[in-house]
């Protein structure tokens, strides 16, 4: 089975792009916890964090850090939740960092993640545009 995230990186599958660097790509999760939920992936196929080459760590986490920094102001959130699964609960076996906007009382408790899908592709693209515009 082909990797869905590798297809996005290669431009073979569509995604709502948030940011990109030479080594990493960020796009919106198609099944978000909340609107604006972004995923940051290395451009090369790496299944888990332990397998990520050290030189890519700064690139992937640096992009996640930039998105987490702008997300509250860009989306009207109070903070962010940043997480990564390795194998267990990793729905796509390609390393990805979740950067999720958070507000008090949003219903996210522990690791029970209720999904809140976008109403349309246009709404999804709008969230991606807001995050892109907020990045340096």
Q: What is the CATH number of the domain that holds 10?
A: 3.30.428.10
pLDDT at 90: 67
The model's pLDDT over 52-96, given as tens digits with 9 standing for 90+, comes to: 999 999 999 999 999 999 999 999 999 999 999 877 776 888 999
Q: In whole angstroms, what separates CA 70 from the centre of its chain?
A: 13
pLDDT at 1: 52
Q: Is 109 helix (H, G, I), strand (E, B) or coil?
A: strand
pLDDT at 111: 59
Name the pLDDT band for 51 (thresholds 50, 70, 90): very high
Does residue 109 surpass a pLDDT of 80? no
* Run of H or E including 70: helix 54-75
Residue 102 lies in domain:
4-134
Catalytic residue, candidates 37, 96, 98, 116? 96
Is 37 a residue of the active site? no
The count of structural domains within the chain is 1
pTM for the predicted model, two decimal places? 0.83
Best CA proximity match to 35, nearest among 131, 134, 133: 131
């Amino acid at each position: 089975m082909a990797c869905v995230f590798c297809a996005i990186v290669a431009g073979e599958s569509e995604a709502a792009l948030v940011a990109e660097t030479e080594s990493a790509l960020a796009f919106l999760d198609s099944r978000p916890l909340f609107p604006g939920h972004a995923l940051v992936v290395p451009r090369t196929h790496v299944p888990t964090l332990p397998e990520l080459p050290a030189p890519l760590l700064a690139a992937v986490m640096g992009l996640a850090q930039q998105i987490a920094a702008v997300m509250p102001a860009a989306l009207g959130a109070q903070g962010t939740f940043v997480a990564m699964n390795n194998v267990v609960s990793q729905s796509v076996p390609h390393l990805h960092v979740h950067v999720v906007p958070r507000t008090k009382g949003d219903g996210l408790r522990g690791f029970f993640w209720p999904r809140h899908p976008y109403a349309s592709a246009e709404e999804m693209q709008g969230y991606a545009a807001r995050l892109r515009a907020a990045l340096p």
